[in-house]
């Protein structure tokens, strides 16, 4: 079979998903053959397909559907849906699936999140490499009877599942600013508003894959201006903001100050441990030390995991971890098929806030006990060779005589009053650098020094 692939398609195949610049690294034809490879590699008869609102998602969605059908399998097309909605569909229907999205990446990107039945993600080590190799071979089964496509609206089923057990009068009087950022949370927020007695003041609810108002990643300061201003200029209990495919949620207090997501994780973990004493809770090298300390203080068992949604989900299943969180705004739950749920996170936070405001506490006051450290914004430095750059940084750090230097998902370094991590990015050709301290100045100074060094060797190779 004759076919061509995007010029730089190999760059789109990451450790945990497929993601790249459209159309140079990922295009319609590549996605069509990727769909065929996915179906034929595992012998699937039916596949769930969903997409986000990115400008190229319509074409990529159509290409994937056609690829599945041409390989003889049926498609359950759930259309526009956030990534946790795809995970819900895969988990409840016990079917494989794909989410067409580039998640939090900039507007020029797009990608595929492939999952086995029960929303188990494919990674380079667990199936994604085989899909890529089959796609590259160009050998596909001809003469299959084309599959059919069935459109299915899962919105109400997702709503019922996500809000089960929550009273329609719960959280009455709570006013929240919700920055949808023109992403997929614009679809789910109205569904939550139907079930909760919460008032959502929604910014940018219109679906628009050009991201006209802010970039997709809600944890970056440059993307927080609108929600910060809204909270400062009005009276609300707190704020929330989402990324493009709404699998990340960021929280802001009533003054518009962003609250580190792992600090929110500490609050959620405490609630979960009250219900499930001694449960295992997952954390990563990038989460604030406050989170790990809170797990221990509440009798939980902290489990260190590799950064990245697919790796965390796998580790949670293998080690029976009930909850995990990342500083990036991902929150994972055993009760939600070991996947991300912004909705469960919001409900846990609302539950805690309901108890706090009965004591006369504001959102900021509720979070204050967890705000023990200052963590820098994680900075990405692009490099030609991640492993070479990481090795060079390791040698440089050793000359500074750190108290400890531990290798796990990069390097965790502790200078005593400042600690942090330098690690390879999962989705980009880059290193991530983040530091933390009781002193914001000290954390920034150490981070700046490591960033400068990394940039100086970024384009050198062994």
| Per-residue model confidence as pLDDT tens digits over 307-334 | 999 999 999 999 999 999 999 999 999 9
pLDDT tens for each residue of 437-447: 999 999 999 99
- Reported as a pLDDT band with limits 50, 70 and 90, residue 428 is confident
Give the model's pLDDT for residue 170: 86
The average confidence (pLDDT) of the chain is 96
- Give the whole-number percent of the chain exceeding pLDDT 70: 99
Residues 170-194, mean pLDDT to the nearest whole number:
96
Q: What is the model's pLDDT at position 299? A: 98
Q: Does the annotation mark 103 as catalytic? A: yes
pLDDT attached to residue 144: 77
Span 338-364, pLDDT tens digits? 999 999 999 999 999 999 999 999 999
- CA 236, 364, 281, 315 torsion-angle sign: positive
Domains of the chain (ranges, CATH numbers): 9-153 (3.40.120.10), 157-256 (3.40.120.10), 261-340 (3.40.120.10), 375-456 (3.30.310.50)
User: For residue 462, what pLDDT band results from cuts at 50, 70 and 90?
Assistant: low
Residue 1: its pLDDT value, please? Answer: 58
State the average pLDDT over residues 121-146: 93
pLDDT of residue 142: 81
Does residue 417 surpass a pLDDT of 90?
yes
pLDDT at 239: 98
Mean pLDDT value of segment 255-269: 97
pTM over 0.85: yes
- Average pLDDT, integer, range 200-225: 97
* Alpha-carbon gap, residue 438 to 449, rounded angstroms: 18
Judging by beta carbons within 10 Å of its beta carbon (0-12, 13-18, 19+), is residue 113 exposed, middle or buried?
buried
Choice among 57, 71, 103, 341 that is catalytic: 103
Q: pLDDT, tens digit, for every residue of 11-32?
A: 999 988 999 999 999 999 999 9
Closest alpha carbon to 174 in 352, 403, 301: 352
144/3: higher pLDDT: 144
Confidence of residue 460 (pLDDT cuts 50, 70, 90): confident
């Amino acid at each position: 079979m004759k076919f061509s692939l995007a010029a730089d398609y190999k760059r789109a195949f990451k450790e945990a998903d497929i993601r790249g610049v459209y159309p140079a690294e990922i295009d319609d034809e590549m996605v069509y053959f990727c769909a065929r490879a996915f179906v034929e590699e595992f012998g699937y008869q039916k596949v769930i397909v969903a997409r986000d609102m990115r400008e190229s998602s319509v074409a990529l969605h159509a290409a994937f559907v056609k690829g599945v059908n041409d390989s003889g399998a049926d498609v359950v097309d759930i259309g526009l849906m956030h990534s946790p909605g795809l995970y819900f569909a895969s988990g409840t229907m016990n079917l494989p699936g794909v989410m067409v999205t580039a998640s939090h990446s900039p507007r020029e990107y797009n990608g595929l999140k492939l999952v086995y039945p029960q929303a188990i993600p494919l990674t380079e080590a667990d199936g994604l490499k085989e899909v890529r190799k089959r796609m590259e071979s160009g050998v596909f089964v001809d003469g299959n009877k084309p599959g059919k496509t069935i459109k299915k609206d899962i919105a109400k089923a997702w709503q019922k599942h996500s809000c089960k057990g929550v009273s329609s009068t719960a959280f009455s009087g709570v006013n929240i600013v919700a920055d949808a950022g023109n992403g997929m949370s614009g679809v789910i927020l109205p569904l939550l508003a139907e079930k909760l007695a919460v008032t959502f003041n929604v910014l940018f609810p219109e679906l628009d894959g050009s991201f006209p108002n802010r970039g997709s990643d809600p944890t970056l300061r440059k993307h927080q201006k609108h929600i910060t201003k809204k909270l400062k200029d009005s009276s609300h209990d707190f704020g929330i903001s989402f990324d493009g495919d709404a699998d990340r949620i960021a929280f802001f207090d009533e003054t518009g100050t962003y609250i580190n997501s792992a600090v929110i994780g500490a609050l959620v973990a405490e609630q979960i441990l009250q219900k499930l004493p001694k449960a295992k809770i997952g954390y990563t090298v990038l989460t604030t030390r406050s989170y790990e300390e809170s797990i221990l203080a509440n009798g939980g068992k902290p489990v260190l995991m590799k950064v990245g949604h697919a790796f965390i989900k796998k580790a949670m299943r293998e080690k029976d971890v009930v909850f995990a969180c990342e500083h990036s705004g991902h929150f994972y739950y055993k009760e939600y098929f070991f996947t991300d749920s912004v909705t469960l996170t919001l409900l846990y936070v609302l539950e805690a806030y309901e108890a706090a405001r009965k004591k006369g506490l504001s959102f900021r006051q509720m979070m204050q006990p967890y705000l023990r450290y200052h963590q820098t914004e994680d900075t990405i430095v692009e490099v030609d060779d991640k492993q070479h750059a990481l090795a060079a940084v390791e040698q440089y750090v050793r000359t500074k005589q750190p108290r400890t230097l531990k290798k796990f998902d990069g390097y965790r370094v502790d200078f005593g009053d400042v600690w942090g991590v330098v690690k390879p990015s999962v989705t980009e050709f880059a290193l991530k650098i983040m530091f933390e301290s009781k002193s914001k100045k000290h954390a920034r100074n150490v981070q700046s020094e490591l960033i400068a060094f990394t940039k100086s060797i970024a384009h050198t190779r062994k």
